[in-house]
Amino acid sequence: MAAPDDPAKRPSSAGVAIVTDSTTYLPARLIERFQVNVVSLYVGWEGDLRPEHSYRDLDAFYARLHESAVLPTTSQPSIGDFLDVYRPLVEAGRDVLSIHIAAGLSGTCQSAREAAAILLAEGTPGEVTVHDGQTGAGGLGCLVLSAARLAEQGLGSAEILAAVKQARETLDIWFCLDTLEYLRKGGRIGAAQATIGMALKIKPILTFGTEIAPVGRVRTHRRAMERMVTHLVELRDRGASDWIVQHAQAAADAERLVAAGSELFGCEPLFCTEVGPVLGAHLGAGVLVGGLSRPD
């Protein structure tokens, strides 16, 4: 699946401008529809760090990841990257709400805040508010789209931020992986736990919040997919108004979950996309599902 064109300098519609980072893996159609501004994280091997969106061939990236003895390096956007997006917006008098991957997983929020402080010191007319989304991937994408919908309705930054915080309380993202190897290499899970899990060929079920945490484990791929469907049932029963599916080199599994979820919810997911290189480097192959209930 090809990565979308660089959306970093795409203009936003009138009102509050919504900014996020590339780890949402939102489809280009929704980024364009809601005119969301995206700042890219970086990833690469041997010091050759490139913007995440520049990796057009995800199959090639994951093939190299599988073959490489070491993980690629990932890095947050620079302060300058954020200034390049923020400055034109605030100089036009726009307020900016910038929503990003959990600070416990990335320094992206810190770079964004430092850029916002520079603009504040310069006295630019628009105000930049940076918010830690306390999640990542499709969960972050759900929050960003909720914010963009409200911005389109003309709400101010404070009102949108309050709604995003409320939406985060209802958000629940689960994912299952083929292996714990990449989480172990990246230091996201204990070496002893990972070694035992890999030896027993356990398929971990994890949640994606302020940190990556286990919520269960199964022994077979079939059981893992059954647990993902069970999670969709639980989301529906809790009144989820948006649901999503994402995957990393697991398109067939994603299609099965989309089919199951569409029958359960009576509608298609908000989006189904492939996880890109930054998070893929830390997770490896697998599938992720989740949803949130929007307040009325």
User: CA-CA distances (angstroms) from residue 226 to 126, 178, 201, 220?
Assistant: 48, 14, 17, 10
Binned at pLDDT 50, 70 and 90, residue 214 comes out as confident
Report the Cα 75 to chain-centroid distance in Å: 15
Binned at pLDDT 50, 70 and 90, residue 3 comes out as very low
User: CA-CA distances (angstroms) from residue 237 to 75, 172, 259?
Assistant: 38, 13, 17
Rounded mean pLDDT, 58-64: 94
Q: Is the CB of residue 26 less than 8 Å from the CB of residue 10?
A: no
Report the Cα 107 to chain-centroid distance in Å: 14
Taking the model in full, what pTM does it have?
Answer: 0.89
SS3 231: helix
Question: Phi, psi (5° rounding) for residue 232?
Answer: -65, -40
Q: What is the DSSP letter of 24?
A: G
CA contacts within 13 A on the Cβ side of 160? 29
**Cβ-based neighbour number of residue 183 at 10 Å:** 22
188 Cβ contact partners less than 8 Å away, ≥ 6 residues apart: 212, 282
Count the helices and strands in the chain (H runs, E runs). Answer: 11, 13
The CA-based dihedral angle spanning residues 171, 176, 181, 183, taken in that order and rounded to the nearest 10 degrees: 0
More confident of the two residues 283 and 294 = 283
Lowest mean pLDDT among 58-72, 75-89, 182-196, 232-246: 182-196
pLDDT at position 201 = 65
SS3 214: strand
Binned at pLDDT 50, 70 and 90, residue 202 comes out as confident
In the predicted model, is pLDDT for residue 57 greater than 90?
yes
CA distance 254 to 272: 8
CA distance 40 to 82: 9
More confident of the two residues 293 and 194 = 293
pLDDT at position 58 = 94
What residues pair up with 208 in beta bridges, in sequence order? 212
Q: Is the CB of residue 213 less than 8 Å from the CB of residue 224?
A: no
184 Cβ contact partners less than 8 Å away, ≥ 6 residues apart: 190, 191, 194, 195, 198
In the predicted model, is pLDDT for residue 26 greater than 80?
yes
Which H helix or E strand runs over 97? Answer: strand 96-100
pLDDT at position 187 = 62
Place of tokens 């791929």: 221
Q: Which candidate, 210, 252, 254, 209, places its Cα nearest to that of 228? A: 254
Lowest mean pLDDT among 111-115, 165-169, 237-241: 237-241
- Domains with residue ranges and CATH for the chain: 17-169 (3.40.50.10170), 170-292 (3.30.1180.10)
In the predicted model, is pLDDT for residue 234 greater than 70?
yes
In the predicted model, is pLDDT for residue 51 greater than 70?
yes
CA contacts within 13 A on the Cβ side of 115? 28
Quote the tokens at residue 248: 């990393």
Q: Is the CB of residue 271 less than 8 Å from the CB of residue 26?
A: yes
